[in-house]
Amino acid sequence: MVLEWLSDDGWIVLERNIDRDKLRFQETIFTLGNGYVGSRGVLEEGYRQGYPGTYITGVYDSGGQLPEIVNAPNPVVVEIYVDGRKLSLDEMGVIEHRRILDMKRAVLYRRTLFVDGEKRYKYRSSRFLSLREQHLGVMSFSLEALDCDASVTVKCVVDGTTRNEIQAVGDPVRHYTVMQTYGMGRDPLYLAARTDASGIVIGLASLTEAHNTGGSCECQIKSHGDENCVFREFSFQARRGKRYSFTRYFSVYTSRDTQRNIHTSCLAEVMRARERGAAQLLRRHTRCWRHRWRYSDVAIDGDPAIRQAVRFNLYHLLIAASPEDMDVSLPAKALSGEWYKGHVFWDTEIYMFPFFMYTQPKIARNLLLYRYRRLEQARHNASMQGYKGTLFPWESADTGEEVTPMLWRGPDGKIIKVHTKPMQHHIVGDISWAVSMYYMVTGDIRFMLDYGAEVIFESARFWASRVNYDEDTALYHIPEVTGPDEYHKGVDDSFYTNYLARWNLLYAASLYREFLGSHPRYIKKLGDKMNLPCSEVDAWQQVGGSIKLGIQDSGLIEEFQGYFDKGNDVITQRNASGMPVYSKDEDKLQHTQLVKQADVILLLHLFPGDFSRKTREINFAYYDARTTHLSSLSPSIYAILAAELGDISKAYNYFHYVACGDLDDYFGNTDLGIHAASLGGVWQAAIHGFAGVKLVCDRLYINPKLPEKWRMVKFNLLWRGNTLRVCLSNDKVEILLGSRKKQLELPACIYGKRIQLQANKLLTVVK
Ligand code: IFM
């Protein structure tokens, strides 16, 4: 593991020096993960501003308040003392520093040259969380005293004092109690902790090998533990100019994921790792990553900064998603921070899910199963609010209960009341939409029969109980909701919500009929389970067809009932990145037509076949002039619509802003964690926006509208178990439908030309 192996082809993120004001920001950027654990990219020795975060997917705890993802004990601490002085930013100067995140292989490399008076010490490290061995992390590090011999102590710690420090409201919380620390002789270190309320046992083991401290010098090894930490020290006399190297293996298991003895599992993992050795483990890890990227990469030719930024966004999605676990989903900060308490929002289904659905369908399936496996709780949530069917929580953690906090800290630092919980009911339609898309893209009928249809039907049942009938207009209305635009709370007939409800009801009715024809026994069984008579399905059709939709003859959509009566403020100023400048006083904003984030425009994106070009144009122009993009969920959607409508310069502006949003800290709070929804939005903007790829009613549309400097974009998609290899520019699309089924065909429409894709035949279409 040496830096020289790396070649940069848009695959690395490089830090050239230490910026002491941005340490937490960099920790987020350099987060490592393998879908099981996420570990913030801390400098392993620790420093005053440090915010080490180790998050194990699905490990939540309430500890007297709402459940949040637990900041678990930290296994990556390495402290080094030379002649009694600690190598750290707090105690020494730094002459030179480089960190490199190799996104292709998810490995973090570092080289820091510390200076203490006249004496220089070179520290190098690399670490990864194995994608192959999900419970294992590997770290290599070395020290060189450049100017003198020195007496050195290397201390490898498993730190059980970590807390969830970052609270919007209230004090930091330590969510676990350490039960056991063990580190006798040369045995691996072991620490076990139990979360306070959820009772999950977390075990961590650590085994460090010193490679060349013997021979010319004696190495003394000591182990210590107190009630919260366990550590091993290596003390030796270092010769000037000689490099001393160490390899550390660490493992994590919890009672969530093993029936076996956690202690045994942890120890066995690090012992096995030592036998294999770091080089072989890295090879195995690299192979898995190669496979991951094979379907996930979007290679943009002609715009190196954006090529790298897009990969950065995809990297952060990939390190957070569990390939195995169907009881976890993706939190709003993925596994890179604890802001929003590690809760799962609609961000997952509407923003992140499409990327997984088209590139890693197994992960997409698991994300839906996470919801399905909480259906019973969602039924309970609905009945608690007086509705039928299923009401998924606006914020979800481990159990599927509604866990939205009552108070939160707003962007200006003020504590505000949260109004979303009882009103952001569009989450029900968002999840149904994801289920329907998954079915269309993967054709996974088994999933639909076993789980998906039930979600769709229960959601339809919810909407049918959520509407009010108005006899005067003979229309159904949905009162008091909050749509995606959170400036306007508790509104009536939100277009986004009503349209999704309408679609959900009609889709449920048609799916029921489809399955009644194709799988009657199944429908009978599900009907019995849900106590679902045909008359109820007829009612879905009838209600769905008569829901109020506020759309004018011109095609202009009213975001909600009375929206056009609000103050007609428009964005008059934009900053250098093309983003709106406006007054952020939410009390005033709610009385204006200014919109917090993509709302009507998002709906147009979700249903590309349903609205004419004219309708999309009119609404884009109207809402683009009124959207503040306060939420990072917004600009990617405007980029998609702008690209589709041919305003490439506007599309590129929005796209650039979000693609670099975290890397360049445009959102201003990346220190708290990555903006996971936006990561997914970036993929959608590249593929659905610029590449112009859409699957509508089982037909593949491709209509590229690339920014001028993008010479070519290459990517793969998965469709019904087959591969679509795409390479396109503004003038030419090359596409190969790879399939084992020789007769397979896929109807397509490329640059407006209707074409039939045939299995394993490369097709080139010139504009
Ligand atoms: O779900 C979002 C919401 O739409 C805007 N505020 C932040 C939430 C979590 O990302």
Residue 415 in tokens: 């504590």
**Residue 209 buriedness (CB in 10 A; 0-12 / 13-18 / 19+):** middle
Decide: 577 and 660 in contact? Cβ < 8 Å: no
Task: Judge residue 473's burial from the number of C-beta atoms within 10 Å of its C-beta, 0-12 exposed, 13-18 middle, 19 or more buried.
Answer: exposed
Handedness of CA 203, 341, 345, 349 (dihedral sign): negative
The atom of ligand 1 lying closest to the CA of 675 is 10
Task: Read off the tokens for 333.
Answer: 């900060």
pLDDT at 683 (0 to 100): 98
Answer for the pair 101, 13: CB distance below 8 angstroms, yes or no: yes
Distance from the alpha carbon of residue 330 to the mean position of ligand 1, in angstroms: 13
Token pair 């959520």 in the structure block, residue: 466
Q: Is the C-beta atom of 113 inside 6 A of ligand 1?
A: no
Rounded Cα distance, 250 and 616, in Å: 53
Is the C-beta atom of 487 inside 6 A of ligand 1? no
Cβ atoms of residues 232 and 221 within 8 Å: yes
- 639, HSE (Cβ side, Cα atoms, 13 Å): 31
What was the pLDDT predicted at 253? 98
633 lines ligand 1 (CB under 6 A): yes
Residue 726, phi then psi, degrees to nearest 5: -120, 135
pLDDT for residue 720: 96
> Ligand 1 in contact with 360 (CB < 6 A)?
no
| Ligand 1 site, residue 496, Cβ cutoff 6 A | no
Cα–Cα distance for residue pair 691/726, rounded to 1 Å? 10
Strand residue runs (E) in 363-427: 407-409, 415-417
Q: What is the model's pLDDT at position 213?
A: 67
User: Catalytic residues, which ones?
Assistant: 486
> Over the chain (767 residues), what is each successive 10-residue block's mean pLDDT?
53 94 97 98 95 97 90 98 96 96 97 97 98 98 97 96 92 95 88 97 97 64 82 94 96 92 97 98 98 96 96 98 95 97 98 98 98 98 97 97 90 79 92 98 98 98 98 97 96 98 98 97 97 97 98 98 98 94 90 98 97 98 98 98 98 98 96 98 98 95 98 97 97 97 97 97 96
pLDDT at 190: 96
Residue 224's pLDDT is 78
**Which domains, ranges and CATH numbers included, belong to the chain?**
9-294 (2.70.98.40), 374-628 (1.50.10.10)
pLDDT of res. 420: 66
Ligand 1, from 403, 631, 672: best to mutate by most atoms within 8 Å of Cβ? 631
Return the best residue to mutate from 633, 658, 675 for the ligand 1 pocket (most ligand atoms within 8 A of CB): 633
Distance between CA atoms of residues 337 and 355, nearest Å: 21
How far is 671 from 28, CA to CA, in rounded Å?
A: 6
- Of 483, 487, 645, 486, whose CA–CA distance to 560 is shortest? 483
Length of the chain: 767
Looking at the CA of residue 343, tell me the nearest atom of ligand 1.
9
Give me the pLDDT at residue 218, please: 60
Residue 345 beta carbon below 6 angstroms from any ligand 1 atom = yes
**CA 114 to CA 352: how far, in whole Å?**
41
Distance 596 CA to ligand 1 centre (A): 10
pTM above 0.85, yes or no: yes
